[in-house]
Amino acid sequence: MSVSAASSSRRALLGLGSNVGDRWAHLRGAVDAIPDVVEVSTVYETVPIGGPEQGPYLNCVVRLETDLTLRDLLELCREQEVAAGRVRRVRWGPRTLDVDILWVDGESVDDEDLTVPHPRMHERTFVLIPMRDVAPDLVYEIPGSMGGDDVVPLGPLTGPRGT
């Protein structure tokens, strides 16, 4: 059941990842198309967790100040994935773009197609490390069992691509 959406602007965090095609371009295109962006984390290269064998991901977290509802945010995320040519074939499989709603201040929902806060965000270093860049108040610790060694900072999304 859904908690009613706030009518005023509040912080929302979206997690973005890509490991197919021009990963930088997929992330940049999504960030450019998302309204209300106020901050973007460093881009990190990460090893895939779960799913079939696949190449490394680029991940970042985007902070919005928005009055969009949770459903509007979900639609926006799905539109960005479709625009990047995402095809859902294998759970946790390779993808041109994955956009997840991680957190929205003061809101929660637990529906079949949408759970906010994201139920596994605090278990994933590829989410927590970039999330710490834009919302340090929400990241209390990075799980040691996941190891931050598999999350390599590359630089800002809008700047040079790093290494």
pLDDT score recorded for residue 12: 96
Buried b (16+ CB within 10 A) or exposed e, 83-115: ebebeeeeeebbbbbbbbbbbbeebebeeeeee
Looking at 28, 63, 86, 132, which residue is catalytic?
Answer: 86
Please check whether residue 3 lies inside any domain of the structure. Answer: no
Residue 28 domain boundaries: 10-156
For the question of residue 98 being annotated catalytic, the response is yes
Please check whether residue 38 lies inside any domain of the structure. Answer: yes
- The pLDDT > 70 percentage for the chain reads 83
The sign of the torsion formed by the CA atoms of 145, 149, 153, 154 equals negative
Looking at 23, 98, 124, 132, which residue is catalytic?
Answer: 98
pLDDT score recorded for residue 80: 92
Looking at 23, 28, 100, 124, which residue is catalytic?
Answer: 100
C-alpha 122/C-alpha 140 separation (Å) is 9
pLDDT score recorded for residue 2: 42
The pLDDT tens digits for 27-78 are 999 999 999 999 999 999 998 877 777 889 999 999 999 999 999 999 999 9
The answer, yes or no, to whether residue 5 has pLDDT greater than 60, is: no
* Pair 46, 57: CB distance under 8 Å: yes
Instruction: Enumerate residues 6+ apart whose C-beta is below 8 A from 106.
Output: 6, 10
Could you give the number of structural domains in the chain? 1
Q: State residue 93 phi and psi, 5-degree precision.
A: -85, 180
* Pair 136, 117: CB distance under 8 Å: no
Give helix 23-33 / helix 70-83 axis angle, nearest 10°. 140
Q: Coil, strand, or helix at residue 156?
A: strand
Looking at 11, 23, 28, 95, which residue is catalytic?
Answer: 95
Please check whether residue 162 lies inside any domain of the structure. Answer: no
For the question of residue 23 being annotated catalytic, the response is no
Q: Where are the alpha helices (DSSP H) in the chain?
A: 23-33, 70-83, 125-134
The answer, yes or no, to whether residue 7 has pLDDT greater than 80, is: no
For tokens 């994933």, the residue is 124
Supply the CATH number for residue 142's domain: 3.30.70.560
For the question of residue 100 being annotated catalytic, the response is yes
For the question of residue 32 being annotated catalytic, the response is no
pLDDT score recorded for residue 161: 44
